[in-house]
Structure 1
Amino acid sequence: MSVRLDPARLRRVPETFSRAVGEGLLPGYALRINQGTEVVLDTQDGLRDLERSLPVERDTVFRAFSMTKPITSVAALMLYERGDLDIRVPLATYLPEFAHTPVCRTAAGDPADVVPMTNPLSAWHLLTHTSGLGYEWSGQNGVTEAYHRHRICDPDGPEDLATSVRRLAGLPLLFQPGSAWNYSMSVDVLGRLVEVVSGRPLDEFLAAEIFGPLGMTDTGFAVRSADLGRLATFYEAVPGGGHRPMSIFGPAVDAPPNLLAGGGGLYTTIEDYQAFVLMLAAGGRVGDRWLIGPETLRFATTNHLPGGVDLAAFAHRGLEDDLSGLGFGLGFAVVTDPPARRIQTRRGVHFWNGLGGGTFFIDRESGLSATYLMSVRSATNFVWEAKLQQLVHQAIVD
């Protein structure tokens, strides 16, 4: 369904974000909004490097962080629809190291107090974040401490993806697969699964199957040395105001790191990432071919949580974000109830975000899609994700 946008109301989007830049809340950002294939807003503001006063430009390179996850998920779904990957069978069919992964008996996460898996881990669990895996910051317990100690799936760590995933398989799951939702390293394991099933390293698969067809020439697991000047400095918000540079994940220069992190290791630009988003918004179509089928994407962007519950009802303990009105599909968060979400958006909108504050959303019903990139770690990042959806939807007048 086509909708009409009021230009004056649409200008509220960049005005709001640029006001935040002027107030020192954000270093800088890049933003692109499309209605179908038409670009209705393409803007950037602020600085990519505060210390050198370098502006954000259209070709600024950002760390994608967890905005890598939907790309890796699509890679797995491509193998799924080709018949090469069965997302229902035990993961050990492809990754034997997960055949006997134990499970913590209680929510305390004690790696010495475990029971066997009663429901075999599968690729479906990885795609939906119901695997029982976690992150090192997802609650302080023995399992998450082991993640930290062994630098599991750390792009800056000494191990490659295969070795790190094997080490991860030897640690207990936090809960039985399928019994709860927990944001986790599931998609890093999924990246390893893509490697095993396709017979290609993850970076080569993504380059050949996704980045090449979409013309995403500035997206990859490393930044070319000639392009380092375009890379946005990664900042963290300082209590009381301001930002300071934060050293995390590289950057990898010219060659990818030892570990190809399908859950958070990519670099990208606003133009590149919006090309990926537009492909999804078009139902998988790129020119005269289908990168992924529209039925596959409809399946992936449907809430897969048992009984249609939302994340607030199904999340593992310790998750403090407000997850009401959100479901989860195969790699995407899905709005199931806008009033419960308390955001002016639409049912069926699917999206994701990253540690650096970037986000995208697709509203297939209205034909609207948007990508927003910035480079700051802040407790307010989720505010901007919600504000982007709200401000774009308030511009609809017909």
Structure 2
Amino acid sequence: MSDFEQIIEKACEDQEIPGCVLLASNHDESFKYAKTFGKRSVRPDGDQSPIQFNTVMWIASCTKLMTSICAMQLVERGLLTLDAPIYGVIPELKDQKVLEGFDDDGKPIEVERKNPITLKLLLTHSSGLTYEGLHPNSNEWLKFHNLDVSTETTVLGRFSRMPLVFEPGTSWMYSPGIDFAGLVVERVSKMSLEEYMKKNLWGPLGVKDMTFHLESRPDMKARLADMSKRNTDTGKVEFTDERQTYQDANKKEVEDYMGGQGVFSSAEEYVKILHGLLINDENETILKKATMDTLFTPHLNKEGDESLNAFLQNDMANNAMGGLPKDSERTYALGGLVIRDDLPKGVRKGTMMWGGLPNLSWTCDRTTGLITLYAGQVVPPGDAKSAELTQKFQLGIYERYNQSRGSNARM
């Protein structure tokens, strides 16, 4: 057993995590790693059987990559453009103002927007939209209006009521832009996002066990792992049945197909999406090669890059986005976060990565030809222990891959 495997086994034994699924492979799968650790639940009366490759998880923002791919398919077909205003498809975003701040009485100061929101800005978190709870101004705005949008179950109900927190295209803030991109895909294709993905993404890649609505798949629901949360006093994880963002306040499923967070999947199914990215240049199954290059190309301006890298100086945010060294320069492409420089013994420049709220993390390194997936179910997001284990796994995989190729080259 390698060092990272021993460390993860001990973390499970010490109940620092309930369990996880680790997967990695190269282009032709001549190098392949697959291992499960721990159990499905830490609930005393729950199913504490070993976690499996087909154990179902809420993959949350791992959904974003798939929605971005679908949007780019429609761009390829000439049904959308990256740079045109999106209001012809989502007129609900046309009149949103920019929140500049608050007056002395605490009243919001909102001004007319100058720049249009485009599909590119939605996909790169540069539109000025933000998730509730992430930006201090949006928090104050919600308090002023006595609103709790977190209980809303539709994209428009939850995300279109707040003003923008900056002028579109002038900064970066993690946002529901890709939830709106999912709505764009639905309105343009005249299909639900799940129907579209089944036909144009999941089907071509042989994916069968994915859904936005778990109630429609009782076979998957029976394999769902319990969610665990970190006890800040003991450092151990414990079962939580607290409402997750894929449920409404009454623990019912969200109505809409949330393109930024809504999918349930097993790790063995999601890795098919990542492998599809890796080999797409050879078969163009999901996108033309030029479009795939565009998906991986950084699209932030200087102000966006500065905002993103400042955001990543926060421990929680950095942990949630891969747990890389804070001095590593990162930018954003249409499909996820992109590394600007080679990292010692690890991912190469141009690697794209992202993850999901319950501490999932994936990478796609087209230069090295390697994908990795760490899949767990622990809250809160940006859990330090999960990020530490993710990094040990990724470094261990690169070391193994180097050895398998008989290469001493610096990775």
Cα displacement (A) at 1:391: 2.5
Distance of 1:386 and 1:150 partners within structure 2: 38
Distance of 1:129 and 1:354 partners within structure 2: 16
Cα displacement (A) at 1:309: 7.3
Cα displacement (A) at 1:186: 1.0
Counterpart mapping for 1:92-103 below 5 A: 92-103=87-98
- 2:261 corresponds in structure 1 to 264
Choose the corresponding residue for 2:70, options 65, 72, 75. 75
On the 8 A contact 1:133/1:184 being kept in 2, the answer is yes
- 1:50 corresponds in structure 2 to 42
SS of 2:12 mapped into structure 1: helix
Distance of 1:276 and 1:43 partners within structure 2: 18
**TM-score normalised to structure 1 length:** 0.85
Choose the corresponding residue for 1:244, options 238, 254, 259. 238
Choose the corresponding residue for 2:371, options 369, 372, 377. 369
Which stretch of structure 1 is more off in the superposition, 234-243 or 59-68? 234-243
Counterpart mapping for 1:145-184 below 5 A: 146=142, 152=149, 157=151, 159-161=153-155, 163-164=156-157, 168-184=159-175
Q: Is the alpha carbon distance of 1:391 and 1:137 closer, same or farther for their aligned partners in structure 2, counting shifts above 3 Å?
A: farther
Structure 2: stretches of 5+ with no match in the other structure: 319-325
Choose the corresponding residue for 1:131, options 98, 123, 127. 127
Distance of 2:273 and 2:153 partners within structure 1: 29
Q: Is the alpha carbon distance of 1:233 and 1:313 closer, same or farther for their aligned partners in structure 2, counting shifts above 3 Å?
A: closer
**TM-score normalised to structure 2 length:** 0.83
- 1:215 corresponds in structure 2 to 206
On the 8 A contact 2:308/2:331 being kept in 1, the answer is no
Counterpart mapping for 1:7-22 below 5 A: 11-22=2-13
Cα displacement (A) at 1:276: 0.4
Cα displacement (A) at 1:126: 0.7
Which stretch of structure 1 is more off in the superposition, 137-146 or 375-384? 137-146
Q: Is the alpha carbon distance of 1:127 and 1:227 closer, same or farther for their aligned partners in structure 2, counting shifts above 3 Å?
A: closer
Cα displacement (A) at 1:385: 3.7
Q: Is 1:390–2:382 an aligned residue pair?
A: no
- 1:327 corresponds in structure 2 to 331
Amino acid at match of 1:172: P
- 2:177 corresponds in structure 1 to 186
SS of 2:273 mapped into structure 1: helix
- 1:278 corresponds in structure 2 to 275
Q: Deviations over 1:75-94 (max 9, x none)?
A: 11111111111110112122
Distance of 1:33 and 1:24 partners within structure 2: 24
Distance of 1:318 and 1:106 partners within structure 2: 23
- 1:3 corresponds in structure 2 to none
Q: Is the alpha carbon distance of 1:37 and 1:296 closer, same or farther for their aligned partners in structure 2, counting shifts above 3 Å?
A: same
Distance of 1:44 and 1:34 partners within structure 2: 15
Distance of 1:139 and 1:99 partners within structure 2: 21
Q: Deviations over 1:287-312 (max 9, x none)?
A: x6521112211111122121497456
Distance of 1:313 and 1:222 partners within structure 2: 32
- 1:105 corresponds in structure 2 to 100
Amino acid at match of 1:367: G
On the 8 A contact 2:345/2:399 being kept in 1, the answer is no
SS of 2:40 mapped into structure 1: strand
- 2:223 corresponds in structure 1 to 230
- 1:203 corresponds in structure 2 to 194
Q: Is the alpha carbon distance of 1:310 and 1:228 closer, same or farther for their aligned partners in structure 2, counting shifts above 3 Å?
A: same
Cα displacement (A) at 1:344: 3.5
Q: Deviations over 1:234-267 (max 9, x none)?
A: 1111112222223214579xx9741211111100
Q: Is the alpha carbon distance of 1:72 and 1:181 closer, same or farther for their aligned partners in structure 2, counting shifts above 3 Å?
A: same
Counterpart mapping for 1:329-368 below 5 A: 329-338=333-342, 344-368=346-370
Q: Is the alpha carbon distance of 1:309 and 1:181 closer, same or farther for their aligned partners in structure 2, counting shifts above 3 Å?
A: closer
Structure 1: stretches of 5+ with no match in the other structure: 1-7
- 2:323 corresponds in structure 1 to none
On the 8 A contact 1:32/1:371 being kept in 2, the answer is yes
Choose the corresponding residue for 1:29, options 1, 7, 20. 20
Cα displacement (A) at 1:374: 0.7
Distance of 1:144 and 1:369 partners within structure 2: 40
Distance of 1:388 and 1:22 partners within structure 2: 17
On the 8 A contact 2:186/2:193 being kept in 1, the answer is yes
Which stretch of structure 1 is more off in the superposition, 305-314 or 172-181? 305-314
Amino acid at match of 2:166: F
Amino acid at match of 2:398: H
